[in-house]
Structure 1
Amino acid sequence: MKKSVLTRYRVMAYATAVMLLVLCASMVLKYGFDTGANATLVISQIHGVLFIIYLVFAFDLGSKARWKFGKLLWVLVSGTIPTAAFFVERQVVREVEPLLEGAPAQATA
């Protein structure tokens, strides 16, 4: 597997997670303080586009890493839970890095 597959997943995982937090904050402002309705509309559309790209890249990574369906589903769903994508991304990187082309073999104990 090429490193670029993991890199683009990581970028989109962070972008999606950050935009989800921004969207949550804008929703609080919109419904809690009756301000920022236009900003919420724009932020939600940006997040929607980024999330679709995240799904494509996460699915691509999962298929190349040969994940089981449950793991793939968890990675895909983590983009909908605020802050979960940050933690899942770290776990995915630790698991996928040894599978990259040219990665040094890890010693087993």
Structure 2
Amino acid sequence: MAAEHTAASSRLPRALARRVGRDVPTALARYRVMAWIVGVLLVALILVAVPLKYAAGLDGPVAVIGTAHGWLYAIFFLTACDLALRARWTLRGTALVLIAGTVPILSFVAERIATRKTRAGERL
């Protein structure tokens, strides 16, 4: 039993190592789409929905856009982590990209930097 556990656990790092670095262009495309969606929703939330809430007393736009942004940020988080593993990003670079998804406009800047460096084969 202990030999089976040791054999299974020794295969896990090799399986992960085979997956890392593969399909980077596809993962990058998924990340870019989600970065733009999350960025646009965050800008709409901050520049449109929040002013409508406080200036006109309309709570609906904040509820709808805020909820959509929250759920889609979770998908963005997963796609960014997937890309980070495949492109072998550093932990610092990964954390910065994930945090950038929560700051209006910065998600677009982070997406451009991440795309440029990933396409060049550089670690983020």
* TM exceeding 0.5: yes
Tell me which amino acid in the other structure corresponds to 2:51: V
Partners of 2:57 and 2:30 in 1: how far apart? 35
Stretches of structure 1 that go unaligned for 5 or more consecutive residues are: 100-109
Q: Which residue of 2 aligns with 1:28?
A: 51
Q: Which residue of 2 aligns with 1:40?
A: 62
Q: Could you state the TM-score of these two structures normalised by the residue count of structure 2?
A: 0.75
Residues 10-46 of structure 1 deviation map (CA, whole Å, 9 limit, x = unaligned) = 0000000000001112112212x03321121011111
Aligned CA-pair RMSD: 1.1
Stretches of structure 2 that go unaligned for 5 or more consecutive residues are: 1-21
Partners of 1:95 and 1:74 in 2: how far apart? 14
Partners of 1:64 and 1:87 in 2: how far apart? 21
Q: Percent identity?
A: 35
Tell me which amino acid in the other structure corresponds to 1:73: A
Q: 1:66 deviation in Å? A: 1.2
Q: Could you state the TM-score of these two structures normalised by the residue count of structure 1?
A: 0.85
Partners of 2:85 and 2:98 in 1: how far apart? 12
Which structure would you say has the larger RCO, counting Cα contacts within 8 Å and 6 or more residues apart? 1
Q: 1:65 deviation in Å? A: 1.2
